[in-house]
Amino acid sequence: MQYFPVFLDAKDLHCLIVGAGEVGARKLELILKTPATITVVAPWMCDTVKSYASHPQVTLIEREFEQDDLNAKDMVFVATSDETTNADIHDLARARKVLVNVVDNTPLCQFITPSIIDRSPITIAMSSGGVAPVLLRYLRQKLESVIPANISRLGAFSEKFRNKVKQTLDGVTARRYFWEDVLDGDIAELVEKGQNDKAEAQFDIALEAARQNQKPQGQVYLVGAGPGDPDLLTFRALRLMQKADVVVYDRLVSPQILELVRRDAEKIYVGKTKSNHTLPQQDINTLIAEQAKQGNRVVRLKGGDPFIFGRGGEEIQTLIEQGIDFQVVPGITAASGAASYAGIPLTHRDHAQSVTFATGHLKDGTIDLNWNALAHASQTLVFYMGLTGLPIICKKLTEHGLSAETPIALVQQATLPEQRVVTGTLATIMDNPETPTMKPPTLVIVGSVVSLHRKLDWFTRTVE
C-alpha cells in the first residue's frame, strides 16, 4: 500500500481550501459532512461556494493565497488552476507539516480523498491510489446496491449499547460472539425496520442470556475454499472467514484467498505434500477439536470441497466423538474449477455421459483402483493428486481397454493466473517435454472431452 488508510477525527480539525471554483466547491461540500472548521481562500468564488458564506463552519476570504493562511491548519486542499501556484503551496504545506492534497495531481498529494459510502456512523472508504478512478466508481456502485440504506440505524443502535455490553460481558471473544448473533438475527431486522422498542427489549433478553453463560461454545466450520480464484468463494465461506478466531488451512488454499481471512484471526498452517506432512491427519483432527474446546470459532479452510478428497469426513468424525458442534460449507471442487477454466466440459452429449472422480494417491501410497470400471470411452475421468502416478495411470487404463489415443490433459494451478495446461494422449503425454515441468497442484483429466480444449479454451493457452 502506497497510501495508508486512516480515519481522522474531524471534531477539532482545521481545513484550508485554496481555490473556490467548482472543484473547490466539491471539496467544501465533502468536508462539511464532518464537524471540521473550514477556511476557503480565493480571489474569485463560484456561486456554490458563496452559498456557504453564512455557514457556521465556513470562513470565506476573497483574495490571493498568503503563506500565513497555513497557520494553525491541519490539512489543505489546493484547487487552483495555476500549476505553479499549486506546487508552491504544496511545498509550503509540507515544510510546515500540514497535510496537503493538490487536486487531480497525485504526485503532489500527501493524502488522497477516497470514494466514500456514507451511512453514518458507518462509513466505507475506498481508494485506488489515484490510478483507477472509473473502476473505483464501479465498485462503489456495486457496494451501494448491496448495503442496506438503513444500515446507519444499526450503527447507531450498536453505539448506544456498546458500553452496556462491555460492562456486562467479560472478554473480547464473548462480546464479539454476542454482537455477531445480534447483527445476524432478528434484532438487527427490527432495528433496520425502525422498530427500536421491540429491538431493545429483545436485546436485553439476549444480553442477560449471554451473561449467564459468558464463555461461548466453540464451533468448527469445514469450509471449501474452491480451486484457487477468490472470486469462486461462496458468500457463506467468505462471511465465516471474516468471523473466524482461528483458521486452520492447507497447502491448496491460495494466498489470495488467505488474504480474505479476518486480520486478527490466528492462522495455523497444516499443509501436506507427498511424503512431507506438516501435521499427520490425526493431529490435525485433534488440533481442530482442541481449538473449539477453548471457545474459538474455528474455520477449517480446505482447497476445493471438504468432502471430495478433502478428508472432511475424517475430521468431523473426531468432532462428533468429542461432542463439538460443526457445519460444512461446500466449495467448488478442483475438478469442476480446472475443467471449466481449461475449456474442458466434464460431460458432453457427443463425448461423455458420465464423470468419475478418482484419487491418484491412496492412503497406503498405492494406486490400486478398479481399472476395469474406469477404462470406458464414454466417461470422463478426473484424477486428484495424480501427477506422481501419471505413468501408472496411463499404463493401467490402456491395459484395461482404453485406447492409447484417448486424450489427456494436465491442469496446474487451476483458475489462477499461473494456470498451465498440457495435453496429449495416454500414449504420448509422458513424452511431452512440458510434462516433467508440471508441479502440484495438478489435476489429470482423461477422456474424449479433452479434445474440445483447443476450441473451447477461454482462459489460458495450451502448451503442447
Computed on alpha carbons and rounded to an integer, the radius of gyration of the chain in Å comes to 30
Catalytic residues: 250, 272
- Amino acid of residue 254: S
Task: Select from 228, 325, 322 the least CA-distant residue to 282.
Answer: 322
The helix (run of H) or strand (run of E) holding residue 204 is helix 196-212
Q: Are 103 and 76 in contact (CB under 8 A)?
A: no
Task: Give me the half-sphere count of Cα atoms (radius 13 Å) on the Cβ side of residue 208.
Answer: 6
Task: Select from 118, 128, 116, 81 the least CA-distant residue to 102.
Answer: 81
Please count the other Cβ atoms lying within 10 Å of the Cβ belonging to residue 393: 25
Q: Are 69 and 16 in contact (CB under 8 A)?
A: yes
> C-alpha distances in angstroms, 379 versus 327, 349, 387, 427, 442?
33, 11, 20, 18, 20
> C-alpha distances in angstroms, 176 versus 149, 173, 180, 183?
24, 5, 6, 10
Phi and psi at residue 426, in whole multiples of 5°? Answer: -60, -30
